[in-house]
Structure 1
Amino acid sequence: MFSGKTEELIRRVTRAQIARQKVQIFKPVIDDRYHKTNVVSHSSRHVEAEPVKDAVEILQKVYDSTRIVAIDEVQFFDNTIIKVVSKLARRGIRVICAGLDQDFKSKAFGPMPELLCIADDVMKIQAICTVCGAPASKTYRLPSENKKTVLVGEADLYEARCRAHYDYLDEDQDVKAFSISLGGLKEVNSKSEVKLENENTI
């Protein structure tokens, strides 16, 4: 999250519209964070879209004159979206999809793995880690009683994290143990060096 994937989708759609190509934009109805009918980026750029309940509805609503179909938050659709995207592509329609490839557990998110496999072009964009500022490819969910994988939210629920800070918590015993182990290793090395120096002196 927070990597600019929707911003990139809007950029591509805008270029196509400037070129007077017929574009249709869809989004899952579940995504109503900023607006019910617009695709909106974190920087507040937006384009009008049509919310749909499922992937089949996209197929039913695409016009014969449409040259480009853009789908935002594609990870929220079920695997039917794979067949829909393939069918549109076979009709000569350029399909632009934006979505998360991993959920907050760092597992494959919905239909994304297969969509990535069949895509002609893939752009992976990284966010900025909220802890250290490094490139972030992970989505960290802040503590919540809701354990559902699909939980629509923004900065109130999620943070972008790099791999090093993805699962770090102050009370994480594994991290503490690792730190203690490193400290012990340094201490051992230090004693070895002292012993070696003493032996050389003798």
Structure 2
Amino acid sequence: MLRKNDNGVLEVICGCMFSGKTEELIRVLKRAIIAKQKVLVFKHASDIRYSHEELYSHNGQKITSHLISNTKEIFSLDLDEVDVIGIDEAQFFSDDILEHVELLMEKGIRVIAAGLDLDYRRKPFGCMPQLLAMANKVTKLSAICVQCNDEAHYSQRLIHNNQIVLVGAADSYEPRCRKHHKIT
């Protein structure tokens, strides 16, 4: 575990819907808390599926978080003693996140960002390609295809809607392998 006086690093957790990204983020953040590190957690304001004050995984894991629309809002808090910052749903933030993550790392903070690397069309999602390129460590997770039980790397949108950003859960998406993923 890195301490604040060490160099800042960026870790990115990515994968498709239901691959366990938020669960993994929460697990890593809770380990930092056990290690007596000061942790702040943020999630995008559009993700209020389960709670406004907590980051929830689909399997019920949770941790206290701040709801923000722009990563610039992170700097409104006192970061002097912060060791680790977790950011969920990173793909929803504007490209400003890239500059803000750099500033956090310059402060010696370990930043852990989780998000979808691909949208429902199998295209790179938002700022994630740049975050992945900047990352010191990448964890790419997969799910189980609901059609054949093979490894799934794609998010199948179940409802017809051409918006790239459509926050949803099992009612809107399911994990699929390449063979069973259809771009709608």
If the length of structure 1 is used for normalisation, what is the TM-score? 0.81
> What root-mean-square deviation, in Å, do the aligned CA atoms of Structure 1 and Structure 2 show?
1.3
Query: What SS does the aligned partner of 1:98 have?
Result: strand
- Matching residue within 32, 38, 56 for 2:54: 38
Paired residues in the alignment total: 168
Following the alignment from structure 2 to structure 1, what is the Cα–Cα distance between the partners of residues 43 and 169? 17
Pairs within 5 Å for 1:1-202: 1-144=17-160, 146-167=161-182
Higher helix share: 1
The offset of 1:60, in angstroms, is 2.6
Structure 2 residues not aligned, in runs of 5+: 1-16
Identity of aligned residues (%): 46
Larger radius of gyration: 1
Structure 1 residues not aligned, in runs of 5+: 170-202
1:24 and 1:62 in contact (8 A); partners too = no
Following the alignment from structure 2 to structure 1, what is the Cα–Cα distance between the partners of residues 32 and 124? 30
- Asked which structure has the greater RCO (Cα within 8 Å, sep 6+), the reply is 2
Query: What SS does the aligned partner of 2:73 have?
Result: helix
Higher strand share: 2
Following the alignment from structure 2 to structure 1, what is the Cα–Cα distance between the partners of residues 63 and 159? 32
2:55 and 2:64 in contact (8 A); partners too = yes
Following the alignment from structure 1 to structure 2, what is the Cα–Cα distance between the partners of residues 131 and 61? 45
Indicate how the Cα distance of structure 1 residues 18 and 164 shifts in structure 2: closer, same or farther if over 3 A, else same. same
Question: Structure 1 stretches (4+) deviating beyond 4 angstroms?
Answer: none
Indicate how the Cα distance of structure 1 residues 62 and 129 shifts in structure 2: closer, same or farther if over 3 A, else same. farther
1:69 and 1:94 in contact (8 A); partners too = yes
Following the alignment from structure 1 to structure 2, what is the Cα–Cα distance between the partners of residues 39 and 168? 29
Aligned position for 2:9 = none
Aligned position for 1:185 = none
Following the alignment from structure 2 to structure 1, what is the Cα–Cα distance between the partners of residues 85 and 155? 27
